[in-house]
Amino acid sequence: MNNFDNRNGVNSRRPALFMMVNTLERGGTERQFVTMARALAECDFEVGLGCLVCRGEFVESLPGIREFPPRGKLFLPYSLYQRLLLASHLRRRGTVIAHSFDFYANLMLIPAARLAGVPVVIGSHRQLGDLLTPLQFRAQNIILRMCDRIVCNSRAATARLQKSGLGEQKVTVIPNALPHSAFAETIPAMPSVPGVVRIGMIARMNDRSKNHVVFLRAAARLAAKVECAEFVLVGDGPLRAELETVARDLELGSRVRFLGDRHDIREVLASLNITVLPSSSESSSNAIVESMAAGVPVVASDVGGNAELIQDGETGFLVQPEERAFTVALERLLLDPELRGRFGQQAKAYASTHHNLETIRRRYEELYQSLLAEKRWEPESQNVRSVI
């Protein structure tokens, strides 16, 4: 059982860690936040959690999480008041490590932690930065200079930070972690059909940079050439109706299935033979790593951190984010079951070695402990009042 709250308060020799994220909606950053919070709570830390907006499917899995709602822009008076409340909370619980996990949490937690006198303050940059406005990027850059360290989930994510003047010594790259269940065998969500090869894309339909249309256009090209191909889209959002119209206009008919938002991603992956990620911007895609863990080869855009996950020609293919390139790579895998099998096995082995939870948890522990040592923190100085 995860130890996320301690309402009566105790004196503890374990470092008090406070982690914060924007919301608990379904998303890659949110999933990583939950995964690492659970893992670190089983280690030598008193883990407290906070968010800016307490909503989303992960809320129930993190009982006692505290909300510090800005209720508007992060530099308006009410948001500044919330930072004061957050700073007070951090002081009361004797927080010695504060770690924000995304853009909005960076802007809320980092100044509050400095105000509270927290010894170790860590920010995160889990995207390439090209999806932030210039004003957002400048604001985050100013805030991140207040950190002791910035965690990125790919080397690609560090590039723009370093170009903006944040030194390499200030950045640590820690990849995304996968829970043990990601590697386990499971019953497929869709029964296999003899002679049918399923190609799927798993991505929320609220972001045009995911390039669902590129997948659909490549699917139409393949459907006209290869009878065995079936196409699956997993996810939901405001773009779904538009994408369904595109599928109809391309006359994909029964060859394409929109499954909507699913909670059984492992079971869906067990039903697929190939996964696709044609995004124009990715730092470190959970969809890629989860597919690899399931032994499913991936065809992805050669952008951002994708090349740090996929070994081109060994565990999948990296191509330009346009329909013709995806069509060629997918057709090659479609027509070669032996190649699919070899890629899948090698992908699973890679994910097991580089993204297993124990390895990534140890990386976080080592980071926290090394920064505490730099600050000469002594456990006797900590008095934990409230973990949540």
Task: Give the tens place of pLDDT for each residue, 127-155.
Answer: 887 778 888 888 899 999 999 999 999 99
Token code pair at residue 227: 């009878």
Measured between alpha carbons, how far apart are the two ends of the chain, in Å? 15
Give domain 181-354's CATH number out of 3.60.15.10, 3.30.465.10, 3.40.50.2000, 3.50.50.60. Answer: 3.40.50.2000
Q: Is the pLDDT of residue 81 over 60?
A: yes
Q: Which of the pair, 278 or 58, is modelled with greater confidence?
A: 278
The 3-state DSSP class for residue 131 equals coil
Instruction: Write down the CATH superfamily of domain 16-177+356-378.
Output: Glycogen Phosphorylase B; (3.40.50.2000)
Summarize the confidence of residues 253-263 as an average pLDDT. 95
Contact 316, 277 (CB under 8 A): no
Domain(s) labelled CATH 3.40.50.2000 in the chain stretch across 16-177+356-378, 181-354
Token code pair at residue 47: 């883990």
76, 80, 41, 45: which is closest to 62 by C-alpha? 41
122, 115, 124: which is closest to 83 by C-alpha? 115
pLDDT at position 26 is: 81
pLDDT at position 385 is: 43
Distance CA 287, CA 282 (A): 11
Question: What residues pair up with 121 in beta bridges, in sequence order?
Answer: 98
pLDDT at position 57 is: 83
- The H or E element spanning position 47 is strand 46-51
pLDDT at position 10 is: 43
Contact 388, 65 (CB under 8 A): yes
- Amino acid occupying residue 141: N
Please give the backbone phi and psi of residue 141, each rounded to the nearest 5 degrees, phi first: -60, -40
How many CA atoms does the CB half-sphere of 182 hold within 13 Å? 23
- The H or E element spanning position 162 is helix 155-163
The 3-state DSSP class for residue 149 equals strand
The predicted-structure confidence for 32-52, as pLDDT tens digits, reads as follows: 999 999 999 998 899 999 999
43, 53, 52: which is closest to 17 by C-alpha? 43
Q: Which residues contact 191 (CB under 8 A, 6 or more apart)?
A: 271
Mean pLDDT score across all residues of the chain: 91
Distance CA 303, CA 326 (A): 14
pLDDT at position 70 is: 83
Token code pair at residue 216: 């659909």
The rounded radius of gyration (Å) of the Cα atoms in the chain is 22
Question: What residues pair up with 149 in beta bridges, in sequence order?
Answer: 122
Least confident span in 2-6, 226-230, 250-254, 331-335: 2-6
pTM flag (> 0.85): yes
Q: Is the pLDDT of residue 388 over 50?
A: no
Contact 65, 51 (CB under 8 A): yes
Residue that the structure tokens 């830390």 belong to: 45
Token code pair at residue 203: 């991505």
Please give the backbone phi and psi of residue 116, each rounded to the nearest 5 degrees, phi first: -80, -10
